[in-house]
Amino acid sequence: MLVDLLTALQSSDAATALRKSFWVYPVINAGHILGLAMIFGSILPMDLRLIGFWQKTDYQQLAKVLVPVAATGVLLALTTGIALFSARPLDYAFKPLFQIKIAIIIMVVLNALLLHRTTLWTTAPTEGQPPSRFRIAGIISITGWVSVIITGRFLGYY
Amino acid sequence: MIQRRDFSIGLLAAIGFSSTAHAHHGWRWTADGNVEVIGIVKSATLGNPHGVLILDVEGEEWTAEVGQPWRNARAGLTDAMMAPGTEVTIIGQRSADPNEKRVKAERVRIGGKLYELYPERA
């Protein structure tokens, strides 16, 4: 069932054109890197603030700037990632490394969404010591995104 | 309050960890010096991100990495020329692991004609 679906995706016109392309594939690849640069570049200062750095900086103000950048990065990485996956879905889908990467992505995105849904997110003092709920979310986020980058990079080699 | 120093060390560790091991890209995983592998194409998976030929070399199975589409096209190689059943000679570097039957092509000979994938490595 899944194999049939992936085979259909792999033999689709779009995926075939992508496999045969000279420059489109590397450009999409670059877009994927741009997406994760936006994610990590914005999420790292946000997470560090949640962990306890820069306590005099209003975390709500910081979030207003950094969260939209991170979310746009996620959208870009997701669309380019689906395109890259479509070139060789049968190669990637059954690799444990790929499955681990996807699981971690789901985990870190859920981690961020859940944090934003807590009442603490809107009611915590905007300056000073962060609550432990924030610290935990920040640590999960940093280690998660670093793991996503490492597993993603290693997919190119194994 | 976490110290700035701890953060720097953590980041350095992350960078160090992410730059280990190579298998496909570049030439760090190959041994110096060229080898010639002559075989019959059993199956071909060509196109982005990697072009790979599975070869039957006198009963042994070898994996040959050829170029991406632009590199093959520049050399004058088409997908049809590397179709299953074709005899090809792969000239390139083999895996530094002597147990791994894998070669990365610098040039390919088919039907007596030489196709240069990496002219700068000649």
Mean pLDDT per 10-residue interval, chain A, length 158 residues:
94 95 96 98 98 97 97 98 96 95 98 97 95 98 98 87
Whole-angstrom Cα distance, residue A35 to residue A41?
10
Interface mutation vs chain B, best among A95, A150, A157, A158, most B CBs within 10 Å: A157
Inter-chain residue contact B1 with A87, CB threshold 8 Å: no
CA A5, A8, A14, A19 dihedral sign is positive
Task: Using an 8 Å CB-CB cutoff, list residues of chain B that contact chain A.
Answer: 1-2, 7, 14, 17-18, 21-25, 46-49, 68-70, 73
Inter-chain residue contact A53 with B7, CB threshold 8 Å: yes
Inter-chain residue contact B24 with A149, CB threshold 8 Å: no
**A40 secondary structure, DSSP code:** H
Whole-angstrom Cα distance, residue A124 to residue A128?
10
Query: Among B51, B103, B104, which Cα is nearest to B81's?
Result: B51
In this complex, which of A18, A84, A157 lies closest to B25 when CB atoms are compared?
A157
Length of chain B: 122
Cβ atoms within 10 A of the Cβ of A62, count?
18
What pLDDT was estimated at residue B4?
Answer: 52
In this complex, which of B14, B22, B70 lies closest to A157 when CB atoms are compared?
B22
Inter-chain residue contact A154 with B70, CB threshold 8 Å: no
Whole-angstrom Cα distance, residue B45 to residue A91?
11
The 3-state DSSP class for residue B74 equals: helix
pLDDT tier, B3 (very low <50, low <70, confident <90, very high otherwise):
low
Which residue does chain B place closest to A151, by CA atoms? B18
Inter-chain residue contact B25 with A156, CB threshold 8 Å: yes
Q: What is the 3-state secondary structure (H, E, C) of A70-89?
A: HHHHHHHHHHHHHHHHHHCH
Tens of pLDDT, residue by residue over B5-58, are: 554 444 444 444 333 323 366 787 887 888 999 999 999 999 998 899 999 999
Whole-angstrom Cα distance, residue A99 to residue A68?
27
Q: Which amino acid is at B65?
A: E
Query: Among A9, A25, A21, which Cα is nearest to A86's?
Result: A9
Inter-chain residue contact A87 with B49, CB threshold 8 Å: yes
DSSP A44-110: HHHHHHHHTSSTTS-HHHHHHHHHHHHHHHHHHHHHHHHHHHHHSHHHHHT-HHHHHHHHHHHHHHH
Q: Which residues of B touch A134 (CB under 8 A)?
A: none
What pLDDT was estimated at residue B53?
Answer: 96
ipTM above 0.85, yes or no: no
What pLDDT was estimated at residue B24?
Answer: 60
Q: Which residues of B touch A18 (CB under 8 A)?
A: 48
Tens of pLDDT, residue by residue over B64-106, are: 999 999 999 999 999 999 999 999 999 999 999 889 999 999 9
b/e burial code for range B42-56 (CB count within 10 A of at least 16 → b)? eebebbbbbbbbbbe
Q: Taking the model in full, what pTM does it have?
A: 0.81
CA atoms within 13 A on the CB side of B24: 15
Which positions ≥6 away from B114 have C-beta within 8 Å?
B107, B108
Q: Which amino acid is at B109?
A: R
